[in-house]
Structure 1
């Protein structure tokens, strides 16, 4: 498997990611142990992790230039994580290194019996702070960047938002609509649904007749589900017509199914969401159509699930599984 830095697509803008890096200690077990039990692992791997690092590794392997702004400790784990990202083609030259401290790390237990994974995260210190970002660093890291990916820097704040349920919506489709209503400049919202695929609500500029009545978003979702082929092994995309929705929103709903991975090939779901995000970033930078971008991201996420850890089986752009999208 060659480094994607040799396969970068010339002339494409840069994807910048800002977030935490951590080191994943992955072990597979025949079944999850009960308390006070000793058990033998069946395989073990140490690999870089963290949502931002995983997503950017995916972007780099697909052939786009990517750079990361993060903070690591001046320890062996921190140096190892940066070297691994560099070997995958991610530019780490803008990362901040703390003198002292400790890097984040994560224990991941993969249960071969149930195909589930359990994560135990140990936060490091110190965090990336605004004082770390000088004006010259900000100007340099943003130079040529088209897409910025950030997943939140405060776990406590993110947990609080999740508990408060920002949209106060009772269903997933209505939550997506609520976000478009509250954020009028937002073009689309995507929600991943694990083994059930994903869903996108896209704002459209196409005019609809003023006489057209508002369509209930939940009824639209149910109708769209009825015409979606959930039995397909490969991801399929189904979209509604552009319609008038509540809150003066004109848009369409899109459903994409997940790839059905045979149990003999399903190894570990760690990082599947990050792979999906990395593929979306690629699709945005290369101007993929919405339906193609979502189906592509679903395929990339499925590739990730076929190996241990978040980065082991992230595909390069010449992967035959992606030939239908990238012409590899």
Structure 2
């Protein structure tokens, strides 16, 4: 059996859609309000579960796991979060390795202002839950190590220092594991070191923008800095740089909901990386196409027929 374990924060998102982003110290009426589960890894897991349940049998046998800090196991918010994934009977998500904070009733929260005029979304986070410690993660890693199964570990690089300890521990107790990390904010200390420990790294667009000190080897002589909505991939050492725009056909894309587009792309890539017969170009194109489909609908349900 093979396991894909995603390690990252789980949020309850409150999304306000407004005609335009409000000026400071102003008043503006929202046109809609949504409350739904969020968080990079949880969003990716919901999409990945859909992909695996509709894929070949050998991929359908992969077990998905979430490792995240959640409120008390008996809290209403925890039940709401777990029920929100809506996985199919064919592909379930295992939440047994989440860290349930006894005595805490409120989840980590995101307040998102989504501008109808530009499609932008501005996010303010609040998290009162104690973060997972390296020691807590080591207990989880030991449990998987005892099983002896193949594992792919994916980390959201929110807290690089702790995540670096986790990845280095995995190298000791599960040296055959594959490790991927997602790094978003170039100015966050420790992300470069964290990326160096991983087998696969997902960089946000910010790393490719002018003026940013890019990781060694990224885009060096591999093509222009990415412009517009697109994605690039580079296989090291010596691999070819691949670039794929979001809209190959040139048809107009109606943007409905960009929240979680990157998480959807990541899920598509994780799926593609387990489809051994696919070329790198096919994997990247599949993930970009899936993310393009996502921005044209609300939420993540029904992304895969």
**TM-score, structure 2 as length reference:** 0.69
SS at match of 2:223: helix
CA distance in 2, matches of 1:127, 1:220: 38
Shift of 1:35: 2.6
Cα 1:220–1:25, aligned 2, differ >3 Å: closer, same or farther? closer
Q: Tell whether the 8 Å contact from 1:72 to 1:95 is kept in structure 2 after alignment.
A: yes
Structure 1 counterpart of 2:83: 83
Query: How does 1:21-170 map onto structure 2 within 5 Å?
Result: 21-63=10-52, 64=60, 65-74=63-72, 75-85=75-85, 87=87, 89-101=92-104, 102-133=106-137, 135=139, 137-141=140-144, 143=147, 144-154=149-159, 162-163=187-188
Q: Aligned pair 1:285/2:274, yes or no?
A: yes
Cα 1:86–1:18, aligned 2, differ >3 Å: closer, same or farther? farther
Aligned length: 255
Q: Aligned pair 1:297/2:287, yes or no?
A: yes
CA distance in 2, matches of 1:238, 1:55: 19
Q: Which string of whole-angstrom CA distances, capped at 9 and with x for unpartnered residues, describes residues 39-90 of structure 1?
A: 2222221111111101111110112531111120123222211221364632
User: What's the C-alpha RMSD, in Å, of the aligned pairs?
Assistant: 3.9
Structure 2 counterpart of 1:251: 239
Q: Which has the larger radius of gyration?
A: 1
Q: Tell whether the 8 Å contact from 1:304 to 1:314 is kept in structure 2 after alignment.
A: no
SS at match of 2:238: strand
Structure 2 counterpart of 1:209: none
Q: Tell whether the 8 Å contact from 2:69 to 2:131 is kept in structure 1 after alignment.
A: yes
Shift of 1:314: 6.1
Q: Tell whether the 8 Å contact from 1:31 to 1:111 is kept in structure 2 after alignment.
A: yes
CA distance in 1, matches of 2:95, 2:284: 28
CA distance in 2, matches of 1:156, 1:149: 16
CA distance in 1, matches of 2:83, 2:233: 41
Structure 2 counterpart of 1:323: none
Cα 1:262–1:43, aligned 2, differ >3 Å: closer, same or farther? farther
Shift of 1:250: 2.6
CA distance in 2, matches of 1:29, 1:191: 29
Q: Tell whether the 8 Å contact from 1:146 to 1:285 is kept in structure 2 after alignment.
A: no
Cα 1:220–1:69, aligned 2, differ >3 Å: closer, same or farther? closer
Report runs of 4+ in structure 1 exceeding 6 Å deviation.
Answer: 155-161, 235-239
Shift of 1:261: 7.2
Shift of 1:103: 1.5
Structure 1 counterpart of 2:176: none
Shift of 1:133: 4.5
Q: Tell whether the 8 Å contact from 1:303 to 1:314 is kept in structure 2 after alignment.
A: no
Cα 1:314–1:270, aligned 2, differ >3 Å: closer, same or farther? farther
2:258 to 269, 277, 299: 269
Unaligned runs of at least 5 residues, structure 1: 1-11, 168-178, 197-216, 319-328
Q: Tell whether the 8 Å contact from 2:231 to 2:288 is kept in structure 1 after alignment.
A: no
Structure 2 counterpart of 1:210: none
CA distance in 2, matches of 1:114, 1:298: 21
Q: Which string of whole-angstrom CA distances, capped at 9 and with x for unpartnered residues, describes residues 11-40 of structure 1?
A: x73311111111111121111222333222
